[in-house]
Chain A
Amino acid sequence: MSGITSFEGDQSTALLRMALSGRRLPRWGVPAAAVVALAAAIGLNAVTGIDGVAGTLVVAILLFVAGQTGWSFSVEGRRHALDRLATTAIYATFALALAPLIGLLATVVVKGSQVLSSSFLTTSMRSVSPRSEGGGLYHALLGTLEQVGIAALIGVPLGILTAIYLVEYAPSGSSRHLARVVSFFVDVMTGVPSVVVGLFVYTAFVLTLGMQRSGFAASIALTILMLPVVVRSTEEMLRIVPRSLREASYALGIPKWRTILKIVMPTAIAGIITGAMLAIARVAGETAPLLLTTFLSQSINPDPFTGPQSALPTFIWDQFSSGTDASVNRAWGGALVLIILVMVLYAVAKIIARFAGVKKL
């Protein structure tokens, strides 16, 4: 397009362009249609019984779509009319979808910031009445960091190793069938609802093996939830590493495992870390499995292996279900902190991906 516009000075080329592209709506066409539609809707509002701002807007949008499409159809033909209809639809869905999502964020920020303070972050709920203001979520934040941290310590290496097996070893060796089965089960795992995983850890580890409910029990559930995401994203990243890199390494006589460790992994590491961070962020907000596997506490417990330990999602749940004004406000504060935590993880992952992503060759 820019190639054509550079000939703009030449009138004959402009005419040629007109001929090539067919008749188009004037540039002011779309805004004009919008204004007319809005005016008509307001007019209709006065005459008929459409009530309220929302109703008027809906009518205006419908009129705009109909008018613009019709006008475009008569001037530009079916294809361009359809294009304009699609463009409007895409802009509209975008605006429509963003409204609730922004609304959600706004609610959490507005409600949560009422209680957010440095003492909210640095004290626990120990000896704070459900009915009184104050207290904080330090104990839950600590619990979440530890539980998710342990889950990451187990899940990330396990996931990366599995991905290495699937990508680097399995396709060639005798274990192709095993790899296919593993790959299939990784997919299955992606779909297991988190509450079912919670139920599994509860019935297997707590009820059957007699393990105490603890932060670590939660870590097990979170690991299971995290694994498939790590495996899948690592797989993707390993597959993107160019074959030529591996071949060059093999040509130099470097053994396979060193090639993987020194050549393949460093090339893909940023992407792998991103995938792992996204998996961590996803499980950090899991509530249902934690309700089944941890023991809620109001006090600080730095030991995830023994004793009750809270987590942010269970803190929110607990405060929300106490049902007093003060505790519900604390729940919103917890929601804000959880969102910030998850978003920081996400942002770090994205930044890593942006600055150090695998370059596709």
Chain B
Amino acid sequence: MNRTRTMSFAALAVTGALALTACGSDGGTAVTDSTSISCVSGAIKASGSSAQKNAVAEWVNTYQTACTGATIDYQANGSGAGITDFINKQTAFAGSDSPLKEEDKTKADARCATGPAIDIPMVGGAIVAAYNVAGVDKLILTPDLIAGIFSNEITKWNDPKIAAANAGVTLPDATIAQFHRSDSSGTTDNFTKYLTATAATAWTSGAGKEWKATGGQGAKGNDGIGAAIKATANSIGYVELSFALDNKLSTAWVDNGGGAIEPTSTTAAATVASATVKGTGNDLALTIDYTTKTGYPIVLVTYEITCEKGLDAGLLDLTKSFLTFTSSDAGQSKLTEFGYVPITGDLLTKVRAAVSSLSA
């Protein structure tokens, strides 16, 4: 008797589960401009940089809407994990905030059956100093000021040094609540590289994916920083432009010595375009000039890392087709829409050449 009752409960649970699995559909009703996508069916996986997470999500949505037979999954588990995934044949390409390092390059080349692994710059991002100070609509910061704030040398908003760069702006007599990333990230890497390059005397904590300076508060991810700034009065933190826009945060103009420049997709694109290629052949590893006076200087470039030759047959066509779309005008113009930075000019031509060179 007890047993039958038990069984009927179990049966009920199973039926419920089955009923659930019976329905369900893939969503997505977004209408797209059916641009120059040459569809390839199949499924590929990619993983890596969380900086390009939302950009890739938009691309994937557009691609999948145009090509219903294709499935592309991008897991934003971080550049390091993305490269590990790629080397271990988990993915067709890796998203990374920095080009392959020497020891990874060897392993990545080994993963590709016949050819080398190459870095293809695909998405740029502007790293902005976003702030939440009531009544301050425009804030101008110099490298030394940013270094001072983020190394806790400058602790008050009305510090004379900040005031000197912002004549006519009423700054509050409040303690600066400074936020940095608590997780390892390419954003921190590029931000600290910028400070090392432009404010060598004021910034002594070096560069790297981990935040090494003391003081301030850490938050996890671009989303965590964005939410923290939004929720904390008199705060400042470095975050990617797209997340600052999503959270409707004010962003500081940066003056590298040639006049203050507003962080936008366009001003940052100029800096990305002026980067020099240090890689050879179709490997487009870049060196960014953080000291530039003609564009918004704090930028990061995320690469798609894949095999120039020798990518597994089942993955190659869809990977190539997808990257062809992302590097097309339609793909790149999507970036501007969401606060990412497009690749432009000569560099874009080289990117397209690199993508078209992908082969078995």
Contacts and interface: CB of A to CB of B under 8 A. Distances in A.
Interface of A: 119, 122-132, 134-136, 138-139, 141-142, 145, 149, 206-207, 210, 212-213, 266, 269-270, 273, 291, 295-300, 302, 307-308, 318, 320-325, 344-345, 348, 351-352, 355-356
Contacts of B247: 323
B110 interface: no
Interface string B55-99: 001101100110000010101110000001100111000000000
Given A124-B27, A127-B26, 9 more contacts: A210-B89, A291-B77, A295-B90, A321-B50, A321-B76, A323-B224, A324-B246, A345-B13, A356-B2
Interface stretch (B16-24, B100-108, B167-175): B16-24
A128 B5 contact: no
A299 B70 CA distance: 11
Contacts of A308: 45, 73, 75
B25 A122 contact: yes
A134 B27 contact: yes
A126 B28 contact: yes
Most interface-central of B17, B58, B61 (chain A CB within 10 A) = B61
B223 interface: yes
Nearest to A212: B90
Contacts of A213: 85, 90
B9 A348 contact: yes
Contacts of A123: 24-27
A302 B25 CA distance: 12
B243 to A, nearest CB: 6
Most interface-central of B71, B73, B77, B246 (chain A CB within 10 A) = B73
Contacts of A299: 26, 64, 71, 73
Contacts of B75: 295-296, 308
B226 interface: yes
Interface in B15-48: 16-17, 20-21, 23-30, 43, 45, 47
Contacts of A295: 45, 47, 73, 75, 90
11 contacts: A124-B25, A125-B27, A127-B60, A128-B27, A131-B338, A141-B20, A213-B90, A300-B25, A320-B223, A322-B57, A356-B2
Nearest to B220: A321
A206 B73 contact: no
Given A141-B20, A269-B3, A352-B6, A300 B73 contact: no
A145 B21 contact: yes
B6 A269 contact: yes
Nearest to A299: B71
Interface in B266-302: none
Given A126-B26, A322-B223, A131 B246 contact: yes
**Size range of the chain B interface in the assembly:** 35 or more
A206 B90 contact: yes
Contacts of B73: 295-299, 308
B10 A127 contact: no
Contact of A145 (B9, B17, B338): B17
B246 to A, nearest CB: 5
A139 B91 CA distance: 20
A328 to B, nearest CB: 8
A323 B17 contact: no
B221 interface: yes
A355 B5 contact: yes
A298 B58 CA distance: 12
Nearest to B248: A325
A21 B89 CA distance: 80
Nearest to A273: B6
B158 interface: no
B54 interface: yes
B30 A128 contact: yes
B61 A145 contact: no
A138 B24 contact: yes
Contacts of B27: 119, 123-128, 134-136
Contacts of A134: 27, 29
Given A141-B20, A295-B45, A128 B28 contact: yes
B222 interface: yes
B57 A122 contact: no
A291 B78 CA distance: 12
A206 B88 contact: yes
B344 to A, nearest CB: 24
B227 interface: yes
A323 B57 CA distance: 13
Contacts of A126: 26-28, 64, 71
Contacts of B76: 296, 318, 321
